[in-house]
Structure 1
Amino acid sequence: MSGHGFHVHGPHDHAVEHGGHSGDSFASRIAVMTAVMSTVGALFSYSGGATQNEAMLMKNAAAIKKTEAANQWNYYQAKSNKQNLAELALSLSQDAANKDKYQKDIERYRAEKAEIKAAAEKLEAESQGFEHKSDEAMHLHHRWAQAMTGIQVAISLAAVSLLTRRRWLNYATYLAAGAGVVLGGMALAHL
């Protein structure tokens, strides 16, 4: 601040004018470590979000396949009803020509039902496959979230160690960061 020829420097102004290096290597190391942990944390957070989105997409695909399978089973049931009606008509019919027609209908419905059943079972299997992929992606999402939590705890401990100037807290910071990196490695390896 200056006024009437009198000029007073604040601590920040003094640090800027005189190079800003106070020789505090402890604070510098923590600042660099915090920046690195923030970058790693951002990568973990992105990966966690991506796996969560993948899990939701797989869950949605499973629901679609499950609905398609239900539609096929409904179609199967309709063919079963038609087959039952043809069997009833066959048993009630006195005319040989009609009996032959009803017997052909029964055989056709039986063949159609077999195809529909195979299609429904295939769709159910696809649905289960998507459910499995969704579960795997959610597991990875949780692993990334655990890794990110370890990094966040490490960043908090770094701030506390800087404020309190307790070097032993720095070791706790390294431990939390290491745990976060190990969990991130496990997520990366799909464990």
Structure 2
Amino acid sequence: MSEEFEVRGPHDEALEHPGHAGHAGPEGHGAPPDSFAGRIAVMTAVLATIGAIFSYQGGSTEGLALFYKNEAAIRKTEAANQWSYYQAKGEKENLAELGAALTASDPKAHAKFSADVEKYVQQKQDIMAKAQALEKSVEEADKMSEEQLHRHHRWAQATTLTQIAISLAAITLLTRRRWLQVAAYGVAGVGALVGVAAFLGL
């Protein structure tokens, strides 16, 4: 014979007991609702929602950080290829200059090699401009990646603080300690401030 078991958290138990006590009055009317437990329950629900938002933002910024880092790696490879291409053109330019020097007595050949030199010089300038633009995009992508990673850490901190506040709220329901309630509010407030800092990129 199989039996089903229900998994319950400490805050569920704490909320259920005051409700049961409310139906145990001698006249059958019950005691007034437990406002303390109600406030903590609402606080827990709000914190759980905020924590879910923080967690989502943390995952999103982590994905963006990896995206920008990957873009930086791709652009860095492209820049390296351009500089290799630039070097190859430089070698061709040197050979053309050598050919121009060796054919000084042959105007036709000398003119051809001189034209090649000018062509390679122009090509090198274009390649260098492209390589420098790629290097700049690498720096920008790296910077964006670092910014997103910093935000990810902030979101993770805010999520952790929110989870701690939820745990404190659950313990507050079980122990009825007002100072734990204050501590839960305080940790939740700090978590909210860290979340705002993450949103602003601070």
TM-score, scaled relative to structure 1: 0.85
Percent identity of paired positions between Structure 1 and Structure 2: 53
On the 8 A contact 1:15/1:21 being kept in 2, the answer is: no
1:29 paired residue number: 39
User: Alignment partner of 1:23: what SS?
Assistant: coil
Q: Confirm whether residue 139 of structure 1 aligns to residue 150 of structure 2.
A: yes
Q: Counterparts in 2 of 1:1-191, with a 5 A limit?
A: 15=20, 18=23, 23-93=33-103, 94-191=105-202
State the distance in 2 between where 1:105 and 1:16 align: 97
* Residues 160 and 16 (structure 1), Cα distance of their counterparts in 2 relative to 1, 3 Å cut: closer
User: Alignment partner of 1:137: what SS?
Assistant: helix
Deviates more, 1:161-170 or 1:146-155: 161-170
* Residues 170 and 17 (structure 1), Cα distance of their counterparts in 2 relative to 1, 3 Å cut: closer
Letter in 2 for 1:68: E
* Residues 131 and 190 (structure 1), Cα distance of their counterparts in 2 relative to 1, 3 Å cut: same
State the distance in 2 between where 1:52 and 1:132 align: 14
Aligned length: 180
* Residues 21 and 145 (structure 1), Cα distance of their counterparts in 2 relative to 1, 3 Å cut: farther
Q: CA RMSD in A?
A: 2.3
State the distance in 1 between where 2:30 and 2:116 align: 93
State the distance in 1 between where 2:30 and 2:87 align: 81
Q: Note the C-alpha offset of 1:39.
A: 0.4
State the distance in 1 between where 2:52 and 2:32 align: 30
Letter in 1 for 2:201: H
Deviates more, 1:44-53 or 1:155-164: 155-164
Letter in 2 for 1:45: S
Q: Note the C-alpha offset of 1:170.
A: 0.8
On the 8 A contact 2:22/2:31 being kept in 1, the answer is: no
Segments of 5+ residues of structure 1 without an aligned counterpart are 1-10
User: Alignment partner of 1:111: what SS?
Assistant: helix
Q: Note the C-alpha offset of 1:89.
A: 2.0
TM-score, scaled relative to structure 2: 0.81
* Residues 171 and 16 (structure 1), Cα distance of their counterparts in 2 relative to 1, 3 Å cut: closer
User: Alignment partner of 2:201: what SS?
Assistant: coil
State the distance in 2 between where 1:141 and 1:95 align: 68
Q: Note the C-alpha offset of 1:20.
A: 9.3
State the distance in 2 between where 1:17 and 1:179 align: 35
Letter in 2 for 1:190: G
Segments of 5+ residues of structure 2 without an aligned counterpart are 1-15, 24-28
